[in-house]
Structure 1
Amino acid sequence: MSTLTEKINATNNMLRDSGSNAIQKIEMKDREGKVIGQIRYGYKPQYVFDAVNQIIGPENWRYELIKEEIFENQAVAEVKLFLKTDAEWLCKGSHKGQMGIVRGNVGDAQKGAITDAIQKCFSLISVGQDAYRGLLGNIYKPNSQQAPKQYPSQPKSEPKQQALPTSQPVQPAPEPTTPVTPQTLPAADLPMIDGITYQHHDSIVVAMGKVYDKKELLKASGFRWNKEQKNWFKEMTH
């Protein structure tokens, strides 16, 4: 059985093998559109999560939304990252993420802030370490057609922009995004409860967020309390 360190190394190797396709240029601009500060390069979030899911496994990591705030121009989220080791969930740290609100679309900003926070949490265990070491600038090529190496297929996560503090980052082809596996947005058969998000693990859905305040609503929607895992869950039928 591979150790966590070996899995992290394999995850980083998979990101490296993806080449320039996995890398984005991040520019900070002021309100007048002028580039300020240093141009940086980082991994695109969807590549990070795909690598994590394929090497570590979507069933072996999860996150908890600690805090979510909406300001005039941006959404901020703080999450805790948990990894499963020997059947026990261990917290690997917490981090804040941010995403600018574009054209009044608060929902996308909230999703982007959560994704940004999760990716930053993974940096605490050295996933994507080449970005933080400044090693990606020489690899980045705009509009690259380079084909990444093929790995055994796993469920793909949706592309998502990465946010940075204060100024707005300029990123390639921004699109509306959704949180990544294992978390998904509430499906049509799940209740829309303020402050509650959901994780999907096969046929099990776990409620995350302000579950203590919303436990009565969750119970009314068919969720049950798992004493061992300390969470509210619901079995979904297909």
Structure 2
Amino acid sequence: MFNDQQTKALSSELNTDRIKVRDKANIKLSYLEGFDIIDTANNIFGFGGWAYTISSLEQVSQEVNANQNVVICYKAIVKVDVYDIDHSTMISRQDVGFGTGVARSLADAHENSAKEAVTDALKRSLRSFGNQFGNSLYDKSKSVAQNAPSNMPNAPANQNAGFGQNQAIPNQAPSQAMPNQAPNDQVMGDIQSLRNMGLDVVEQNGFLLVRGNNIFAKKDTIKALGFRWDSKTKQWYKQLSNAA
């Protein structure tokens, strides 16, 4: 169905620069914008390689709030079709979305609510194709990546820079594992747990850094071991002096 380039793109980790954050009921929610989702679909599937249809669009409710604004809610069902290169094979996905329009005029409230519902349904339909369409953001802990402080001293400028000088944590006895520190059994146990998941652990400038494929799919375990996400360098880190 998909060529090698498309498969590689769909399997790649979501670039955190694309993630936006908004407040809702004093909770920070991570999301991808509608235009970003459409651009990503065009880039991966091609301009003629996919299409969507609004299967249903209906008003759910209408009221007036305390500020005398009209509040209207719409529900939309959107179907997404993705084709192979010669349009001989098609994959279809369908999902529901909701939108709320708040405006002084009835027309504006209808317009805003309907558009939001369609966009929401489109994003939910496309998320079944993986992280490039924000599927990982439905993990409630995902928003941490956008709010973690960039306070790692001497961190590399990007995710891969500087690892040539990093000191890998070898499979040795704790007394030989990290010559700059004396890690306790708990630290070595954490390292081994991460290794068992197929991840790499390195030491740099007094910090433990975690690397590996599909790292966000394993973030709950990484967080549970005391690591934090640095959005600037895009790395999971834990200060060694605190852990040892």
Indicate the structure (1 or 2) with the bigger Cα radius of gyration: 2
Q: Which has the higher helix share?
A: 2
Return the structure number with greater relative CO, CA threshold 8 A, min gap 6: 1
Q: TM-score, normalised by structure 1?
A: 0.47
Q: TM-score, normalised by structure 2?
A: 0.46
